[in-house]
Structure 1
């Protein structure tokens, strides 16, 4: 029987969900998370999973970003609560859940480093990091110890986008319209975060660090030619000398080489063409089956069904499908030497 391990499935464990219900549901800002049953109800989750033979999940913390829910010690405590429950879920249901990655609050980098030490002892495959911390980019020097510690343990990073409707589409406005902040804003956030990490020299410092980007690298595969041409030998030609501080320090490799070091999941809502584009960019060894479960109108079933359909449509060789369906995730989730 073919086995599929879904590399990016969101969950709100029971005690964490109960805490979340006290954090502002009346304002409506948590509306979707508090009403999508398969996000927090295991029976409903299992009912949907049972529709797909050989299907298991790798658990990742659901949004909202912890940094947007609380401050200081309260945010750190939320991350610890999430992680305590994730390890319990995987231990209790190994037939359902193949592994997990932990939550962090980056508001307190020192506390985040301590939590990574704890996650390593708990058996977490890595950590999920949001593409910015309340609008602060991930290449801020104060976040460097977090990446250093993940690399030290040989753990991996799940990089998840987030952007709020308070980020307008145009400078003359105050709010984003038509949910553009989500549809196009989130892929932009992923792409911008990837670029900031690349040009900060992260991969020169940690060449073995593994980062998987949600939604198959967002804009990066589609704009691979633009990256190679515009950020190759032309870097700096658009920037006046007075703004030279906005340019990156010298890197050991061409920018496009670093972008190919990222991994991607197939969470593209069933687009075979986009999946093909991502596979061509990242290669067969750095793409893993992922669906974004359970964020659809059927509590996750549509995303699983349509992602599998898109992969089937590509008619990939059996050896490649096995890599994408399970093996790439298992290798990614294992500790790097």
Structure 2
């Protein structure tokens, strides 16, 4: 079913591509089986053991489609695994990986155009190289935008060095998906307390997502690029829960811009962002919906990941989520696109 008519569109689904093995040079990625028959996957000095790579929905498109059908998912938008962002390695290796990944992803989604779309990987440690790869991936390969981590070697999300990249997203009319990576994969190790109980992917991800929301708003990214569309995984982490404190900071702290000092300014800016619904809790989703509105939510599952429920997704799914995804991805049916353009609405 093409995305224009799909009733359930999953925008939070990662893929690992066999064609990228060794694409980042000494950093990998690579995979195999140990002496006990357990699968492993290596990125840099990080080794993931006991999680199947080959013959899994992450790597086998036929298994993916079977699992999508079982879960009632009509269409999926694929992005690189967080293990494969490579935002902290040397620039040539990162560029090499992203080019090979995006070529392979374009080939995959072109084989299944009625079921799969794709987002480019970008070498964010070099903003201009990232811009060039975005332009190539969208204009030449036909990918629908890009997905990156939230932290990079060199510059933070709000750095003016990224303005040319954000301008390219606007010019190409495609969105940016932000999703964290575990600390220490190919960069700084992070807080050692997060190594307990897998907290790096439970609390650590939520912290990175919340920081990304605050950085985009307080750092003026949304002010400088009013037509930029960014969506953030896992409902933006703890952004909804901490929105009151963030809003108060925007009004009271000495670094805050004049635009943040009026009542409701932070909430208004937060409602400019998009968020996927993969929150594992209807109460959290209700709070996020109250703050940003239902029109800024898109359906996501972390497909085939540890936190996707056995029945495919959490709770009831609003039919408006599919239309939201189409608006975000610029895939609305042609008559509706034309109507929006005439009326000046979001394409």
Give the TM-score normalised by structure 1.
Answer: 0.81
Residue 316 of structure 1 is matched in structure 2 by none
Give, in angstroms, the shift of residue 32 of structure 1: 6.4
Contact 2:87–2:125 (CA under 8 A) maintained in structure 1: no
Q: 2:85, 2:181 within 8 Å by CA — same for their partners in 1?
A: no
1:263 paired to 2:274? yes
The correspondence for 2:175, drawn from 147, 156, 172, is 156
CA contact (8 A) 2:249 2:256 kept: no
Match of 1:250 among 258, 265, 286: 258
Aligned partners of 1:94 and 1:233: how far apart in 2? 47
Deviation at 1:222, TM superposition (A): 1.5
Pick from 264, 280, 284: which aligns with 2:290? 280
Please, what TM-score do these two structures have when normalized by structure 2?
0.79
Q: How does 1:20-169 map to 2 (within 5 A)?
A: 20-21=29-30, 24=42, 29-31=47-49, 35=53, 37-53=56-72, 55-68=74-87, 70-97=89-116, 99-121=117-139, 122-134=141-153, 136-164=155-183, 166-168=189-191
Cα deviation code 1:3-24 (max 9, x no counterpart): 2110111011231257521794
Q: How does 1:210-229 map to 2 (within 5 A)?
A: 210-228=229-247
Aligned pairs for 1:183-332 (under 5 A) are 183-228=202-247, 230-236=248-254, 247-251=255-259, 254-269=265-280, 271-296=281-306, 302=309, 305-307=312-314, 310-311=315-316, 321-324=318-321, 326-332=322-328
Cα distance in structure 2, aligned partners of 1:226 and 1:13: 41
Equivalent pair of 1:169/1:180 in contact (CA under 8 Å): no
CA shift digits 1:139-158 (9 cap, x unpaired): 23322222122122221110
Shift of 1:181: 2.1
Q: Distance in 1 between matches of 2:202 and 2:163?
A: 30
For the pair 1:6 / 2:13, whether they are aligned, the reply is no
Q: Report how far residue 104 of structure 1 moved.
A: 0.3
* Contact in 2 for aligned 1:7/1:290 (Cα 8 Å): yes
**Cα RMSD (Å) of the superposition?**
2.7
2:14–2:80 CA contact under 8 A, matched in 1: yes
Q: Indicate the SS of the match to 1:7.
A: strand
Query: Could you say what secondary structure the match of 1:35 adopts?
Result: coil
1:132 Cα deviation (Å)? 0.4
Alpha-carbon offset, residue 161 of structure 1: 1.4
How big is each residue's C-alpha offset from its partner over 1:170-223, in whole Å with a ceiling of 9 and x where there is no partner? 6xxxx7322222211111111112211211211111111111110012111122
- Is residue 12–residue 78 contact of structure 2 (8 Å, CA) maintained in 1? yes
Check 1:267–1:135 CA distance in 2 against 1; reply closer, same or farther (3 A cut).
Answer: farther
Q: Determine if contact 1:137/1:193 at 8 Å carries over to the other structure.
A: no
Alpha carbons 2:298, 2:325 under 8 Å: kept: yes
The 1:13–1:65 alpha-carbon spacing in structure 2 relative to 1, beyond 3 Å, is closer
CA distance in 2 between counterparts of 1:144 and 1:31 reads 39
Aligned mates of 1:153, 1:126 — CA distance in 2? 9
Please give the alpha-carbon distance, in whole angstroms, between the structure 2 residues aligned to 1:148 and 1:304. 40
Q: How many residues align?
A: 306
1:212-271 CA-partner distances (Å, limit 9, x unpaired): 11001211112222233x2243223xxxxxxxxxx14433772332112111011123x2
